[in-house]
Amino acid sequence: MISQLAFASLTRRPLRTALTALGIAIAVGSTVVFLSLGEGLRRAFDDSLAGLGPDIQVSFGDFDATSLSSVPQLPMRYLDELEAARDTYGIDTVTPVLLYLRGSLVATSAFVFYGLPVETDLRSLYRDFAIIEGRDIGERVPEADAPGRGVPIVGEAVVGEQTALRSSIAVGDVLRLNPNAAFEVVGVAVADGGILDNAIIVPIEPLQAALGAEDRVSFLTLDLRDGSAATATAERLRADFPELGFQTRTDIASVFEEAVRITDVVRLGISAIALIVGAIAVANTMLMSVFERTREFGVVRAVGARPRFLVGLVLLEALLLSLVGAIAGVALGFAGAAAVNLFAVDLVGLDVAAVTPRLVAFAVAVAGVMGLLSGLLPALRAARVPIAVAVARE
């Protein structure tokens, strides 16, 4: 009976109900879209890290999220030291990596350069690596000027497929690193995990020279003879090289997870503003409904209904209103996440938003709690109205 009364009350004022539900839908939809970015980033990081071959990554000092964008700090002498200690730690190969992010206001001109030795087997770094057009990078090419640009060509480059598609890069094109260096594209490649798809592989020596970092790299990657001993080997290396940071795949994943959690808090804070606005809309609608139905409530009380019946009725109306808005909001969230991914795939080649079941459950639960809290004050007011005053009211 109480559910029928609640449904009838909401449908009696369809415009007000629809507008309030729309406000809730927008608030919940915004929350779903914002939080889906965190879910998508986690999924992208998991996929990308799964595609990395190295067992241990070596950085200068502790590794954190800022290490990916800082200038190279790791002296090359550690390459020789670790090479000399390969048998001591069970190291199979040591590979220097120079990471350089060339930013730009135009997305299609922003590139991530990975400098690697030309003899590196990229299949050891990227799972399912394959050249789909052209060939792999070779030895340093003779210095020449980029056609029409006057920029010296200092090496060859292999471009990830998504970068090639996004920036319309083809074999034979020239990529300008800075005013003093450019690379000629000799191949397009793909690999599982997504990292290579958005990177440009170049020989490390000309990249070091172009950046003025001949004696430094960003990281060293270690392939072990026994990959299952990565954690124990990392602990031994930390004890012997305290000035360096040694990260296994799990350690790297934890850094990214911490960064994503921080952004989750920020996104949740922004979403809370929209949710508060939605809660105010529900509370306003229910208060107006209570004022307009004072006489109705008085009659219900006069025929024997207890105050808690009116409390339950108003709370149920608020809950139903919020859940209807939540369902519509989840649908808006799916549409919004799809739109974000459509833009992100074109921009970075990755789906950065993911609407997961737990996210949907969270959004619906938040909307339900929001409805109950918003309807609490109107419900208590409805229950406190004296019967005589309510019945006498016109």
Determine the average pLDDT of the residues in 265-269.
Answer: 72
2 pLDDT exceeds 80?
no
Domain boundaries, the chain: 2-47+257-392, 62-242
Radius of gyration of the CA atoms of the chain, in A = 30
List pLDDT tens digits, range 93-135. 898 989 888 765 555 566 788 888 888 877 766 777 888 888 8
> Structure pTM?
0.58
Burial class (CB in 10 A: 0-12, 13-18, 19+), 281: buried
Which residue has better confidence, 52 or 358? Answer: 358
Q: Which of 10-14, 48-52, 213-217, 375-379 tops mean pLDDT? A: 213-217
pLDDT tier at 42, thresholds 50, 70, 90: low
- Which range is least confidently modeled, 224-233, 239-248, 305-314, 336-345? 305-314
pLDDT tier at 82, thresholds 50, 70, 90: very high
- Compute the residue count for the chain: 394
pLDDT for the residue numbered 194: 58
List pLDDT tens digits, range 183-213. 889 999 887 655 677 788 999 998 888 888 8
pLDDT for the residue numbered 48: 54
Distances, alpha carbon 161 to alpha carbons 22, 73, 105, 170, 348, in Å: 42, 29, 21, 10, 11
Asked if 84 and 228 count as a contact pair (C-beta separation under 8 A), the reply is no
Q: Which of 62-66, 145-149, 285-289 tops mean pLDDT? A: 285-289
Determine the average pLDDT of the residues in 147-164.
Answer: 79
pLDDT for the residue numbered 112: 81
Element counts in the chain: helices (H) and strands (E): 12, 13
pLDDT tier at 275, thresholds 50, 70, 90: confident
Output the six-digit token pair for 37.
Answer: 């970015």
pLDDT for the residue numbered 108: 56
pLDDT for the residue numbered 77: 92
83 pLDDT exceeds 60?
yes
Asked if 197 and 160 count as a contact pair (C-beta separation under 8 A), the reply is yes
- Which range is least confidently modeled, 59-73, 163-177, 327-341? 59-73
Asked if 74 and 219 count as a contact pair (C-beta separation under 8 A), the reply is yes
Determine the average pLDDT of the residues in 75-86.
Answer: 91
DSSP state of 65: G
352 pLDDT exceeds 80?
no
349 Cβ contact list (under 8 Å, min separation 6):
160, 161, 162, 163, 165, 166, 194, 197, 198
